[in-house]
Amino acid sequence: MSHREQRLPFSMSYLVKWFLAILMIGITFLTFYQVVMRYVFNNAPSWAEELVRFLFIWCTFIAAAIGIEEKIHIGIDVVVNLLPSKIQKSVEILVYAALIVFSGYLIYYGWKISLTTKNQPSPALGLPMFWVYLSIPVAGCLNIYYCLKQMRKNFSQIVE
């Protein structure tokens, strides 16, 4: 954590993780509600399944960004681990640069599809699909933020 982040009462990661926790709690309660309504009262609300799906989409994209920050994504690093430490960090920087390019595509095309679907309502909720597809560019922005943060950390370790 950087000096600037230590001075703040909370960091970006803290906010994102709380957002994820709220999404997961919502998914859990809505799924429980839907199961009870279906099997106890024999009257399952159609909107609950759709809302759970939308929350899960948001959760998946946002959690992928946290995976970048925590460095928990699957990677094939057998060869990279054989290299000297500074070269390992350089390879990681190249990987993060490639992720930034990919995330740029996510932002551009995610925003484009979000705008395309802004007047398209979801079947059960009637919610504009814009809000569902907005998860793609938001996750792209978070990906870039966390990639830059990791790159900065790697650069500082190379310089030392």
Report pLDDT for 5.
58
Report pLDDT for 7.
62
| pLDDT > 70 fraction of the chain, expressed in percent and rounded | 94
Cβ pair 144, 101 in contact under 8 A = no
Give residue 109's Cα distance to chain centre: 16
End-to-end CA distance of the chain: 17
pTM: 0.86
| Average per-residue pLDDT for the chain | 91
Of the pLDDT bands very low, low, confident and very high (cuts 50, 70, 90), residue 155 is confident
Residue 104 CB partners (closer than 8 Å, separation 6+): 140, 144
Of the pLDDT bands very low, low, confident and very high (cuts 50, 70, 90), residue 31 is very high
3-state secondary structure of 119: coil
Report pLDDT for 80.
82
Predicted confidence (pLDDT) per residue in 74-114, tens digit: 887 788 888 888 888 888 999 999 999 999 999 999 999 99
Cβ pair 150, 69 in contact under 8 A = yes
Cβ pair 96, 88 in contact under 8 A = no
3-state secondary structure of 128: strand
Cβ pair 62, 138 in contact under 8 A = yes
Which residue in the block uniquely carries the two structure tokens 């430490």?
A: 85
Q: In the predicted model, is pLDDT for residue 6 greater than 80?
A: no
Cβ pair 96, 102 in contact under 8 A = no
Q: What is the mean pLDDT of residues 58-86?
A: 88
